[in-house]
Chains A and B, each alone.
Chain A
């Protein structure tokens, strides 16, 4: 069980949170809207969940739900005026939304703790361990130390959340809603002419993305037990975008792969730690030059599926 150390599990947990964030970017992108506000929505989810559980003793699942819903509602509020914008305008306006929100988090000290943030947020794994201990269970009976058990529990919860999220949006992409998204992405005017209510679906996609970001933020708060405005900067917003664009934004597996690869790579490159972000930058440039549609595109998946069935490609 040596490999099962909390460090590996923590990296794996971040992969999963980032995968949900990547999917949140994918959902908004799937209607052709480029939003850089997801770090902001993430902070809404994280702070809501953190404040509810630290100051009002709300149970963790209820806090996570409230955080996600609040972020989704904020997504509707931002998404409606954002309809007037497209392309880089939308990107920078939503980036602006995130920065204004961060300034509020830093300055509203009585509520948010200012630049220091909120500490001692109940950690999911620890809460479950205490709950299990009270019922006479000890992690040692599974051959696990308690910190291994805590990290493992967090990982499993996040894995479940990620699988459910991906399954939901995979299903969605084959439904009426998903087809409407695809139609809007390909050609908005043609979609409108075909009778698709553009406004409804674009706002829906935007708030779904916001809700997912808030969900990821709330999970983040209860996994790390600490949040501060520094977690939701421009860098985070760009990172989320890069997950989707690097991995590929045409299929939901793209951002999931992008999140996994780009989260693990800097950790794997730790032995050259001083240069890893330099390499990260170079890698991004090379990727966009040689494979601008992202690593995973529908064609690649088709080829996989075909070779999986044993028929010649």
Chain B
């Protein structure tokens, strides 16, 4: 029982981590909270659903489709809702938060228009396949989700730390102007960041569809709020903080439901951040105190 819950928690946590990575990448580079990330994630789930259920294509195609659509959405988001604010003097970070809120309202209602408001069944071909190791039952879906998440997290960490593009991105995150002076095409790096973050959201959307086997047009909001809580908890802009925060939240939610009360499940995320902000305002892996980050 305990081990099974542990596996459930880690599966859920790794999905949370991927959603949170989308937020933390954009915040790290732009100092902007992308409030539309949850809705982009939701679109990824729906695109995956359409490809699997309506077109009957295999799962890898669903991932591919979700990535393409959400990456395109990220591109449009950056082009029309973020870039115009960046070039304008005197626009505060608050303004870009509002404009992404505008995008999220737009997307939520477009999704409502297209897909309706009910739950949609997300069928994974191997949803029922499980195997038993000793007393523990593990579903193949969980293994697949874990592998994909691990692959994404390791890939991202390696890309950021080892490649030239990753270095350019970190330089842009460190200081936009200096990176530009040193020959980094910062506009391109910013676009790349938003696109990669959105595509990761799309993948997470399909993973959630696989994990819960149903999706709806409200899931962007609840997942988005949890993603926000995780990056605060883990430390804004910290990649490892997002991963650790996601796992901690996934585990605490699973164990809360298993051994405590399920009613407060969705409040745990915020309870966690209130506690961490009082004890260590910069988050688990945050570097500088909140005030110094200007």
Interface residues of A (CB under 8 A from B): 34, 81, 84-89, 91-93, 95-97, 99-100, 102-104, 106-107, 234, 238, 241-242, 245-246, 274-275, 277-278, 280-285, 287-289, 292-293
Contact = CB atoms under 8 A, between A and B. Distances in A.
Given A285-B99, A285-B103, A100 B94 contact: no
Contact of B85 (A85, A280, A288): A288
26 contacts: A84-B281, A89-B290, A91-B97, A92-B229, A95-B225, A96-B269, A96-B270, A96-B273, A99-B267, A99-B270, A100-B274, A102-B267, A103-B266, A107-B264, A277-B108, A281-B102, A281-B103, A281-B109, A282-B102, A284-B98, A285-B99, A285-B102, A288-B99, A289-B80, A289-B81, A292-B92
A143 B100 CA distance: 49
B277 A93 contact: yes
A254 B96 CA distance: 19
B236 A89 contact: yes
Contacts of B273: 92-93, 96
Given A97-B270, A278-B113, A292 B261 contact: no
Contact of B109 (A100, A103, A277): A277
A87 B277 CA distance: 13
B109 A283 contact: no
A30 B92 CA distance: 15
Contact of B99 (A87, A97, A289): A289
Contacts of A278: 106, 109-110, 113
A160 B162 CA distance: 64
Contacts of B274: 93, 96-97, 100
B134 interface: no
Nearest to B283: A89
Contacts of B33: 88, 91-92
A18 B81 CA distance: 26
Contacts of B27: 88
A186 to B, nearest CB: 13
A284 B106 CA distance: 9
The residue among B96, B97, B104, B269 with the most chain A CB atoms within 10 A of its own CB is: B97
Contacts of A87: 93, 290
- Report the contact-size class of chain B (Cβ under 8 Å from the partner): 35 or more
Contact of A245 (B80, B98, B104): B98
B154 interface: no
Interface of B: 27, 33, 80-81, 84-85, 88, 90-99, 101-110, 113, 221, 225, 228-229, 232, 236, 261, 263-264, 266-267, 269-271, 273-274, 277-278, 281, 290-291
A292 B85 contact: yes
B85 A289 contact: yes
B222 to A, nearest CB: 9
B98 A242 contact: yes
A281 B100 CA distance: 9
Nearest to B100: A285
B99 A284 contact: yes
A88 B236 contact: yes
Nearest to B270: A96
Given A89-B290, A292-B92, A107 B99 contact: no
Nearest to A96: B270
Contacts of B264: 103, 107
B270 A85 contact: no
A288 B277 contact: no
A88 B249 CA distance: 20
Contacts of A280: 102, 105
- The 5 lowest CB-CB distance pairs between A and B, nearest first, are A284-B102, A281-B106, A96-B270, A103-B267, A281-B105
